Structure 1
Amino acid sequence: MKKLFNILGLLSLLIGMFSFMDFHSSMTKVDYNEANGVLKFTTKMSAPDLERVLKMDSKNGAFENAAKNYVNTNFSASVNNNPIRLTYTGSQVNGETVWVYFEATGIGNINSIKIKNTLLLNDFTNQINLVNIAYKGQQKTMTFQRGKEVNEVSF
């Protein structure tokens, strides 16, 4: 019985420690539209995190342009070893979340996608970025963190 209490005490302590740690993440969904050859990117980030990085309130009129420049600087992709041009199509702030939208046009068959994702990695040591890719019924997931800013998947 004493051993059980010790284990429960240790477990409670660990759970308590983790509840005080900050967790920072972003998630990007990539969808391929075969009919028009468009690769659509939708990125979800924490508004307070992005505000801190941009040193600007999300209600500021210049926030959208700053977010666009930030994403363009910190996210790039190649398809079949050829860099693609990502075009920013908009963003929106919804409470504590910022949604950023961008796309690449003229994309044919995809054999591989290589992504460099440094969103928020320089500002938060425990930042983790996820990218989920949907292509012709297949799902692939990439993770990015400090020291692993580039990832590639094959189809």
Structure 2
Amino acid sequence: MKKFLNIAGVFALMVMMGFAVADFYSSMTKVDYVEGSKTLKFTTKMNTAHVADAIKINPNTAGFEAEVKKYVNNNFDVYVNGSPKVLTFTGSQVNGESVWVYFETGGVTDISTIRIKNTILLGTFPKQLNLVNIAYKGNQKTMNFQRGKEVNEASF
């Protein structure tokens, strides 16, 4: 019985250690349509250490947030009704383990389709999963992005 408990204990420890070393790679973007200003507002949350690995810059340096904005701009594209939209960055902040990036695009009077290309961290982390939640005139859509599926489209 004692030998069984020792083996079970070692096995349980190995299982728990396996979960402890597993890292979860994801980003999440929330998209809100603001009817009054005809604007799509984007809020993206990413893991600070993962972004730092991707852009090869220490998150404690002064230029980190500017590099993160540039990185998101190069890895996130939006098309509304088939037309590409220009993204304007409105801010960012590092909050411990998370980096928040805020951007928007204006002149969106109506959305019948929205197509997004999201390659954030996909080149650095093979198991990266990016989620985008879109709220438009009371409708909610969710998009998933991963390696091999970098582009997604939703209809309203």
Q: Aligned AA for 2:132?
A: V
Q: Aligned AA for 2:102?
A: Y
Q: Residues 14 and 111 from structure 1, CA distance in 2 versus in 1: closer, same or farther, beyond 3 angstroms?
A: farther
Structure-2 separation of matches of 1:35 and 1:90: 21
Deviations 1:109-154 (A, max 9, x none): 1001000000000000110000000000010000000000000000
Written as runs of structure 1 = structure 2, the 5 A alignment for 1:128-147 is: 128-147=129-148
Q: Give aligned pairs, total.
A: 147
Deviations 1:81-113 (A, max 9, x none): 110011111110001000000000111110010
SS at match of 2:65: helix
Structure-1 separation of matches of 2:16 and 2:130: 23
User: Equivalent residue for 2:59?
Assistant: 58
Unaligned residue ranges in structure 2 (runs of 5+): 1-7
Shift of 1:68: 1.3
Shift of 1:23: 1.0
Q: Residues 56 and 107 from structure 1, CA distance in 2 versus in 1: closer, same or farther, beyond 3 angstroms?
A: same
Single out whichever of 71-80 and 13-22 deviates more from structure 2: 13-22
User: Equivalent residue for 1:111?
Assistant: 112
Structure-2 separation of matches of 1:14 and 1:63: 37
Q: Aligned AA for 2:147?
A: R
**Structure-2-length-normalised TM-score:** 0.88
The answer to whether the Cα contact below 8 Å between 2:65 and 2:94 also exists between their aligned partners in 1 is: no
Written as runs of structure 1 = structure 2, the 5 A alignment for 1:77-116 is: 77-116=78-117
Structure-2 separation of matches of 1:53 and 1:142: 22
- Superposed CA RMSD: 1.8
User: Equivalent residue for 1:49?
Assistant: 50
Structure-2 separation of matches of 1:22 and 1:57: 20
Structure-2 separation of matches of 1:112 and 1:14: 45
- Aligned identity (percent) is 57
User: Equivalent residue for 1:68?
Assistant: 69
